[in-house]
Structures are given as C-alpha cells and as structure tokens.
Amino acid sequence: MDRGKRAQRTPTYYYYANTDFWHYLYRENKPMMNHDVSISGGTKKMKYLLSGGYNWEKGMIKKSSDIFKKPISVPNFRLM
C-alpha cells in the first residue's frame, strides 16, 4: 500500500463547540395531567368509598415518545 491511499482513509473530525445539546435533547417543559374522582356514602349497616383517577405525563427527552399513562381505581366497602 502506498502513502497516497493511506492518506485518503484518515478520519474527518467535526467540531461541535457551539451546539447546545441540552436544548437539542430535552424539552423545555414536562406536561402532565392528573384527574381524581371519589364517591362515598352509605347507610347504618354499610359504607362505601369509590375512588378513581388518571395520570398522564410526557417525558423529558424530545426524540422519544415516552408517555406515561396510569389509571387508578380504589373500591372500599365496609359492612357493620
């Protein structure tokens, strides 16, 4: 192999000094929603509590579809 071909394979390096990687990778804000509902009541012999909710949250990284969804339900019945 002669020196001319070896010089052609030298890797090229790029300089990223002025790139703001924080704003390139991450969102400025992190949107989220939280909804809660509860119903309670009863009689002398029975009491009940029904509670439910829903959480929705979007991730910090811009390039991924990182979305967190969580439904919540809590039933509670008590006989006396």
pLDDT one-digit tens code per residue, 30-80: 899 999 999 999 999 999 999 999 999 998 888 877 899 999 999 998 887
Residue of 74 and 15 predicted with greater confidence: 74
Q: Does residue 11 register a pLDDT over 80?
A: no
pTM above the 0.85 mark?
no
- List the beta bridge partners of residue 34: 55
DSSP 57: E
Residue 40 and residue 75 in contact, taking contact as beta carbons nearer than 8 Å:
no
DSSP-based three-state secondary structure for 25: helix
Band of pLDDT at residue 20, cut at 50, 70 and 90? confident
From residue 9, alpha-carbon distances to 3, 5, 13 in Å are 10, 7, 12
